[in-house]
Structure 1
Amino acid sequence: MFASFNRIITKKPLVTNMLTTGFLFGSGDLLAQSLFPSETQKDFDAMRTLRLVSYGGIIFAPIGLKWYKFLGALKPFKERNMYNAIFRVGCDQLLFAPFVGIPMFYSAMACLELNPNPLQEARNKLDRFWWTTLRDNWTVWPAFQYINFAFVPPQYKLLAVNLFSIGWNCYLSWLLNGSKSGLTQEPEQIMI
């Protein structure tokens, strides 16, 4: 099975990553709905899962693939893989996560939820969740990304992130949807 996947991801990296990313984002939401059901939600919310699948497959996968390719090309330290990996983690966690990844997620969710005023809703979500998400991101991702950048072959970096992200996507889904039913305390407010 791994040999088949390797052949497909080498021949069609974008399509393969879009399908796997969408599937794994959806898996995170399924996990969130199973483990942390909302008091107001009686049944499984298929549209919620579809939004996460759509975001993961259509929005995040192409951008993530380009981002990891770009990071892979950054080699400021000649013949020092450890230092290059640390540099890439820094770029990922200090540039991409706070200014691209997290804002992109909450903005896309505001649009995919078909809110009447998606720009205002995106702003509300960012005001409410940006700092909490970024702070929690920094407790989980740097160590994983170091391993990813130092040891995982380039064609598998996004897949490694996606597999690790099942738990992270569960958290994002819970944070985004759990707060509607009072499951979370009010996240810290911060203006960006």
Structure 2
Amino acid sequence: MRCLAVALALTGTHGFMSHKLPATPMRGAATQLTMRLGNGGGGTRRGGFTGRLGAGWKKGIVPRNPGGGGGMMGGGPPRDVSRRAADDEGEEPPAPKAAEAAGLWAAYEKALEKDPLLIKGLTSMTGFAIGDILAQQFIEKKGKYNLNRTIKMASFGLLVHGTTSHWFYGKLDGKIPGTDAGAVASKVFIDQVLWNPIFGVMFFGYMGLWERQGVDGTIKRIKGDLMTQVTGSWTVWPVAHAINFKFIPTEQRVLYINTIQIFYNCFLSIIGNRDGKKKGRK
């Protein structure tokens, strides 16, 4: 039966293609032969047939009708588009994270302009607290977390580092304005040769007083740890401050410093909380 059907189909096609149609004049168009194709909706649709098959037909792709029902020739959006539209229906777009970040930054700048001393102190407090937590939990790993030590480091950032940095960098930018190479180099030199040891004295002096080591114990601590801190600073801050003095506005220097100093504070926290007996201090 299959062979008979194939033979009949071939015979019919041959007869159809070999049949010559009478030339019939049409308005501005060549002779056309219309054929009826069934659509998915059960009806029929007329389409032009000129003896050539388009690229889509050769590849077995049936073109869709822009309008109408959803059959082989029917219109409507493709299934994947319809499915995506259905899936997205009722969903809210994701929160604009960039806008939120811009809003937080704008709020920080507004607060910084209103009360720079307090905001810079809070910024330093956060940086020193995070640095100590990282040092305890991921570097030293002594087991039990020491909350008092974190409070000590955070209070130094709030009371000493933030306030003195606000004063020092404001004065430094006022005396040496500009961002040219000479100004940047001068600021880095002053920061690392003059301010760096002064900062070390303040840091270890605060640690000694917090731990009630007395004047003599605090002086011994400064003598024992100051050079370690100063030389350690030289491995990080010359490059960091070159970027700082070149690109960062004066009012945002403390925020930039504390961003870098989160990791440097791990080093400060370790040497600032070393056992004095191990170093020979009494």
Smaller-chain TM-score range?
0.7 to 0.9
**Which of the pair is proportionally richer in helix?**
1
Q: Report which of the two has the higher share of strand.
A: 2
Among candidates 254, 266, 278, match of residue 158 of structure 1: 254
- The alpha-carbon deviation at position 158 of structure 1 amounts to 1.1
Distance in 2 (CA, whole Å) between partners of 1:179 and 1:165 is: 23
Matched, 1:112 2:210: yes
- 8 Å CA contact 1:74–1:84 kept in 2: the answer is no
- Partner of residue 127, structure 2: 24
Aligned to 1:13: 116
Give the unaligned 5+ runs of structure 1. 188-192
What is the match of residue 173 of structure 2? 72
Tell me the residue number matched to 2:195: 96
CA distance in 1, matches of 2:107, 2:171: 26
Match of 1:190 in 2: none
Amino acid at match of 2:174: A
TM-score by length of 1: 0.85
Inter-partner Cα distance in structure 2 for 1:158 and 1:105: 17
What secondary structure does 1:36 align onto?
helix
- Where structure 2 has 5 or more consecutive residues not aligned to the other structure, the ranges are 1-103
For residues 3-52 of structure 1, the C-alpha deviation after alignment (integer angstroms, 9 at most, x for no partner) is 1111111111111111111111111100110113364xx42111100011
- Whether the 8 Å CA contact 2:179–2:246 is kept in 1: the answer is no
Partner of 2:219: 123
Relative contact order (alpha carbons < 8 A, sep ≥ 6): 1 or 2 greater? 1
Structure having the higher Rg: 2
State whether residues 110 and 122 of structure 1, in contact with CA within 8 Å, keep that contact through their aligned partners in structure 2. yes
Correspondence for 1:135: 231
- Normalising by structure 2, we get a TM-score of 0.59
Aligned-partner residue type, residue 143 of structure 1: V
Moved over 3 A (4+): 178-182
Instruction: Give the corresponding residue for 2:10.
Output: none
- Of 125, 141, 162, the match for 1:61: 162
Q: Helix, strand or coil for the counterpart of 2:144?
A: coil
Deviations 1:127-159 (A, max 9, x none): 221111111111111110011011101110111
Question: How many residue pairs align between the two structures?
Answer: 177
Q: Specify the alignment match of 2:183 in structure 1.
A: 84
Identity within the alignment, %: 27
